[in-house]
A and B are shown apart, each in its own frame.
Chain A
Amino acid sequence: MAYRFDFQPVLAHTDLLLKGAFFTLELTAIGAVLGVALGILGGVSRAWRLRPFAQVFGVYVELVRNTPFIVQLFFIFFGLPSLGVQLSEWQAAVLAMVLNLGAYSTEIIRAGIQAVPHGQFEAAAALAMTRAEAFRHVVLKPALGKVWPALSSQIIIVMLGSAVCSQIATQELSFWANFIQSRNFRAFETYLLTTLVYLLMAIAVRLLLNWIGRRFIMRNR
């Protein structure tokens, strides 16, 4: 008996898949902005050995990078309420994504900052740049430019990893895939199309980040 593939029952729910895909993209956008911001704080603290922040970020980076995302998510969503911190399912998802990306981007950005030769600070001072200007133009931009491809990959990894957020009922793409297959009993077809949507999203986000990199980060290089 051969199995007959039938995608119609899945395509009937295209609106739900799109809704989920947009929510995943929203989570990713918020996660990426806040996560990279956290990574800049962490990267600068670690690269310049600012006490006590360098040590705090060091412990944070090791804790996050050596435990699975789904356990971090469960700890935040199920564990933190015992400390009186009750987050909604999308807040828990965003927090987990920010903390996860923050740890990886701390290490990526630290490497970028350390790759900027020290003579450039002296050159900036010789040009009478203020500290803020020097930080922006001499430290941050060249550092981000050097590590932008690695940072982009990490953002995409976090987006794909966010699929497990359906387990705490965050209404992102895989949540709606689970919902649809529980209605139409076409699990394989549903997940195949959902996987395809994730693949297209990964490609689209990669193109977008490449464009942002070329347009704003890696100019004049």
Chain B
Amino acid sequence: MDFTLWDIVRNLITGLQWTLALSLVAFAGGAAVGLLVMVMRISDHGLPRNLARTWIDLFQGTPLLMQLFLVFFGGALLGHDISPWAAAAIALTLFTSAYLAEIWRGCVEAIPRGQWEASATLALNRYEQLRHVVLPQALRIAIAPTVGFSVQVVKGTAVTSIIGFTELTKTGGMIANATFEPFLVYGLVALGYFLLCYPLSLSARYLERRLHAAA
């Protein structure tokens, strides 16, 4: 069977859509879990703080591939045969949460101590201080590095091809095997990721510059 260039591109675009879907799910899930981990990480109490620190160290200190395998095979042990799509979404969510928690902690800690103290004198409790005074200011600093990190999430999805999730890289592998044109196909796969990631990188840089100009 012969493949035209359009056949290759058409199939890669289908794979690209799954890469995009997984990236969005992982980023949204990672942001939700990451916010929780970040709040625990800056807690006054030792237990949640240490739990959060351990969480971050575990996910930052081990390969994403191993995290993926553990979710994939661990889910099966719990009696649920877990699909590659679910395993990919869960593992990437956990991975993303650890990095976002650490990035956001840095942003929260960049807000001067006096802001916490001032809001404490206004009789706000610790949650209210964070919610109404510190987070809105931290958000401004957090946008650029968060957008920058989203590039790592998109690239991280490529590893899920190994457990058989048919996103862009996996699709590319199958097409390369069918067409015997690995140079062309992997080149196009790389181009696909570049088209997703480069705009994110550029916006992160732009946002960073704008923030520094404002400061």
User: What residues make up the interface of A, taking CB atoms closer than 8 Å to B?
Assistant: 3, 62-63, 65-72, 74-75, 78-83, 156, 160-164, 167, 174, 187-188, 191-192, 194-195, 198-199, 202-203
Contact = CB atoms under 8 A, between A and B. Distances in A.
Interface in B126-149: none
Contacts of A70: 158-159, 161-162, 169
B159 A66 contact: no
A163 B151 CA distance: 20
A66 B169 CA distance: 14
A67 B197 contact: yes
Given A80-B183, A164-B159, 4 more contacts: A70-B158, A70-B161, A78-B176, A188-B74
Interface string B163-189: 000000100110010000111011101
A137 to B, nearest CB: 30
Contacts of A83: 183
Contacts of B63: 160-164, 174, 195, 198
A66 B152 CA distance: 9
Contact of B190 (A67, A191, A192): A67
Nearest to B67: A195
A59 to B, nearest CB: 11
B206 interface: no
B62 A199 contact: yes
A75 B186 contact: yes
A75 B188 CA distance: 10
B19 to A, nearest CB: 10
A69 B158 CA distance: 8
Contacts of A187: 69, 73
Given A79-B187, A191-B70, A195-B70, A68 B61 contact: no
A209 B79 CA distance: 42
Contacts of B61: 156, 160, 198-199, 202-203
A113 B155 CA distance: 28
Given A68-B155, A198-B61, A82 B182 contact: yes
Contact of A79 (B69, B74, B156, B183): B183
B201 interface: yes
B186 A192 contact: no
B91 to A, nearest CB: 12
B110 to A, nearest CB: 17
Interface in B53-70: 58, 61-67, 69-70
A132 B66 CA distance: 45
Contacts of B67: 195
Given A160-B63, A195-B70, A62 B193 contact: no
Among A68, A74, A198, A203, which residue has the most Cβ atoms of chain B within 10 A? Answer: A68
A199 B77 CA distance: 23
A40 B69 CA distance: 36
A174 B156 CA distance: 17
A191 B69 contact: yes
Given A164-B159, A164-B162, A74 B173 contact: yes
B182 A71 contact: no
Contacts of B157: 68
Nearest to A24: B63
Interface string B17-61: 000000000000000000000000000000000000000001001
Given A66-B194, A66-B201, A67-B193, A74 B69 contact: no
A79 B62 CA distance: 29
A63 B24 CA distance: 22
A203 B58 CA distance: 11
A46 B214 CA distance: 26
B190 A160 contact: no
A88 to B, nearest CB: 16
23 contacts: A3-B77, A66-B198, A74-B169, A74-B172, A74-B189, A75-B182, A78-B176, A78-B183, A79-B182, A79-B185, A81-B182, A83-B183, A156-B61, A160-B64, A161-B64, A163-B64, A164-B65, A167-B162, A174-B66, A188-B70, A188-B73, A195-B62, A203-B61
